[in-house]
Amino acid sequence: MADTAHRVVRMEPQRRPERLIELDTMGTVGDAARPLSIPERLLQITGVRRLIVVAVLCLAWQLYATWLNNNLLFPTLGETLEALYDAVVNGPLIQRTLTSLQILLMGYALGLAIAGIFTTLAITTRVGTVTWPVGSCDHTCSPITRSMPSRTPASIIGFAPPACSSAG
């Protein structure tokens, strides 16, 4: 009777029949040995894809501007490129660009100089650090900071005196 109480019956799942799937109907899909055609090889180059996007955008711009037929509101791509060429070759575009860059560099240099001055002042002076008079806590401590323990986070970062006691 003791032998039957300790016997464990294991249940095993039913056996399913084996399945074989033939892949011969797939053809050349996923064939790594197949050589790529010229358009497939060209489209794998990032520069070519970007040029295609630019060309499509230029074509859409030209078609929409031609359909709109309002040069003041939306000039064609040809007119825009013509105006850009004229401004670069004959106009003041290069000179004005250099003037803008000069002003930007002057602003950066001024900002760097001011930051250097402030950094030097912050390192060499004690501006911003609070020295609490020892023994004269009554006129330097507020009633709130007088009741704080001596090593609170406020006293560690400098908002409260480190040694104020409630005795004053």
pLDDT digit string (tens) for the chain, length 168 residues? 555 566 778 888 888 888 887 766 665 566 677 788 899 899 999 999 999 999 999 999 999 999 999 988 999 999 999 999 999 999 889 999 999 999 999 999 999 999 999 988 888 887 656 555 555 454 445 555 555 555 555 555 655 555 554 444
Residues 62, 85 share a domain: yes
Structural domain contains residue 139: no
Structural domain contains residue 152: no
Residues 72, 97 share a domain: no
Structural domain contains residue 10: no
Structural domain contains residue 112: yes
Q: What is the DSSP string of 75-142?
A: --HHHHHHHHHHHHHTSSHHHHHHHHHHHHHHHHHHHHHHHHHHHHHHHHS-TT---PPTT-HHHHS-
Structural domain contains residue 159: no
Residues 84, 58 share a domain: yes
Residues 106, 72 share a domain: no
Domain count, the chain: 2
Structural domain contains residue 80: yes
Query: Which three-class secondary structure state does DSSP give residue 52?
Result: helix
Q: Phi, psi at residue 46, to the nearest 5°?
A: -60, -40
Q: DSSP assignment, residue 16?
A: P
Q: Phi, psi at residue 4, to the nearest 5°?
A: -75, -25
| Residue-level pLDDT at 168 | 45
Residues 110, 86 share a domain: no
Structural domain contains residue 135: no
Gap between the Cα atoms of 65 and 151, Å rounded:
73
Residues 54, 82 share a domain: yes
* Residue 85 domain boundaries: 38-91
Residues 76, 61 share a domain: yes
Please report, to the nearest 10 degrees, the dihedral formed by the alpha carbons of residues 104, 106, 110, 113 taken in order. Answer: 110
| Residue-level pLDDT at 2 | 55
